[in-house]
Chain A
């Protein structure tokens, strides 16, 4: 079980225990569908009954309203540059560096920064969970390494959301 890093003293924490999963992906671009696939499994899973699930093609500024008051946020997406099927978790800190070129394609860090700026609230824990992709070619099915990684990704999410109290 992975241990969540502790949050620093002095940060403004939301009073609620809301848990939010934001899954990015396009179900018509091969392995880019892993985000929506994970979201589907989370919505079906009893272990995730208290998780708000949002599926989007990309991160846009108005998602800040969905992160408002969230205690734990996990961004799920396919990854390039990592071996197909490799599941990775990273802690996300709010940041506007590097500068964002598009307001309709924000990074998780920039979205967190925007949320903090607008609502003066910072989610207590924020992570990305990614799965290495083999192909983003047009198509409505994912590759075998991606599909095989689904259970590991879900186990990781159970750890993250299960520890978040």
Chain B
């Protein structure tokens, strides 16, 4: 008799999701899906709002990466305004974006992933959480808490709040950086470096013991997309997108926010409220691609800062060509944290960083605008249409997690097929299948915001899994 294995909820993720694994009559895996089960509706209830409200509205999509939404939204508004923001404002936003990236990656590595990495995939589920990590490796618990605080303190210093800060507005930022705050941030840098170095050392010591998982955790060829600068160095706030193939060849590049909306389509599947973006010239699903730390490090030829460049060089030696195994997202996150800390220090040395000119002003000059930035999890795009009064008539968000949706589903299927046979599985096996999704560090609350005529199916099944009744919309 066929059987469905359901993992609900998937734990140690941001947001709500479940995994279903359908077995055939022989107990072998037929299909597997990662279902995102929450709906938010931001794209719909933003309609009718003045465009200048959008950054603070859209920041509420998420409590981990609100800064990404602030920046992408502000850039979309600036496209409507047809303004270029002052250099100092761009640099300050860059610091804010990098601070968020550091604290978000710290959350992913220390709180969500390290219980598996440090305690083991088969460890006692009752201890497989941050408290368990702190009990087993208190120095890593301290490092994780400190790195989260590092990023959040910078966000609070610049934006006024640790979560859902303000400060970023269409046209720039509301106030310049003071010398006092610059010194406060600089004082935090050395300890942040020490903490990331501790984590990276610990990771490198245990990574080899996960070769079996590395082999089957969403390990397959794919396209990759991310922002780069003209010198091929990594970029998080400006630059243009590059899409590369599984051999590292450039498929498309120089993609700005406007072109993104033209070349990227969004497919819908009946089993998830998250969309499935794809590169239109290749169609769906062949045009599916991965974003985020693994993609960014596959695309960039340099980080542009010394310590991160050294680590990137080692990272790229893991394989010939782009690194395909999604388990290596964990490693890539740590390298990006090193880069973020180095880059924040470098930007603060810009002689113009305390300049008072941090805002450009304009009204509606175009009726459509798009803005993009690299969120911790990958490329984020906000795309708006406004009327002549500047009221939002249409909004679309293309979220990083959605762009990894196809890969997450393929990854879950790959792992399920490897581990589940003859209808048998252990708790450790189920944890491993969840851990595939964790490598992508998805932000599910961000990724589901469309509200419309959502298909809905309700099934009533008996204890023997016989269908008793069903209803569909």
A residues lining the B interface (CB < 8 Å): 55-57, 60-62, 64-66, 96, 99-100, 103-104, 110, 113-114, 117-119
Partner of A57 from the list B126, B142, B152, B163 (CB cut-off 8 Å) is B163
Is the pair A62, B130 in contact by a Cβ cutoff of 8 Å? no
| B163 & A56 in contact (Cβ 8 Å cutoff) | yes
Interface residues on B, range: 20 to 34
A55-B161, A61-B148, A118-B134 known; A103 and B111 CB under 8 Å? yes
CB distance from A18 to the nearest CB of B (A): 15
Q: B131's contact among A57, A65, A100, A119, by CB below 8 Å, is which?
A: A100
B290 at the interface (CB under 8 A from A): no
Question: Does B161 lie within 8 Å of A117, measured CB to CB?
Answer: no
B130 / chain A contacts, CB cutoff of 8 Å: 61, 103, 114
Q: A56-B162, A61-B111 are in contact. Are A117 and B145 (CB under 8 A)?
A: no
Binary interface encoding of chain B residues 406-417 relative to chain A, with 1 for a CB under 8 A from any of its CBs, else 0: 000000000000
Chain A proximity of B163: nearest CB distance (Å): 6
> Could you name 25 residue pairs across A and B whose Cβ atoms are closer than 8 Å?
A55-B161, A56-B162, A57-B164, A60-B148, A61-B144, A61-B145, A62-B144, A62-B145, A62-B146, A64-B145, A65-B148, A66-B149, A103-B111, A103-B129, A103-B130, A104-B63, A110-B131, A113-B131, A114-B130, A117-B131, A117-B134, A117-B138, A117-B141, A118-B141, A118-B142
Bound together, the chains give a CA A55 to CA B164 distance in angstroms of 12
Interface SS majority for chain B: helix
Task: Say whether B135 contacts A65, CB under 8 Å.
Answer: no
Chain A residues whose C-beta falls within 8 Å of the C-beta of B138 in the assembled complex:
117-118
Given known A-B contacts A57-B63, A61-B111, A96 and B145 have beta carbons under 8 A apart? no
B contact residues around A60 at 8 Å (CB): 148
Q: Which of B110-158 contact A (CB under 8 A)?
A: 111, 126, 129-131, 134-135, 138, 141-142, 144-146, 148-149, 152
Q: Measured between C-beta atoms, what is the minimum distance from B138 to chain A in Å? A: 6
Which residue, of A56, A65, A118, A119, has the highest number of chain B Cβ atoms within 10 A?
A: A118
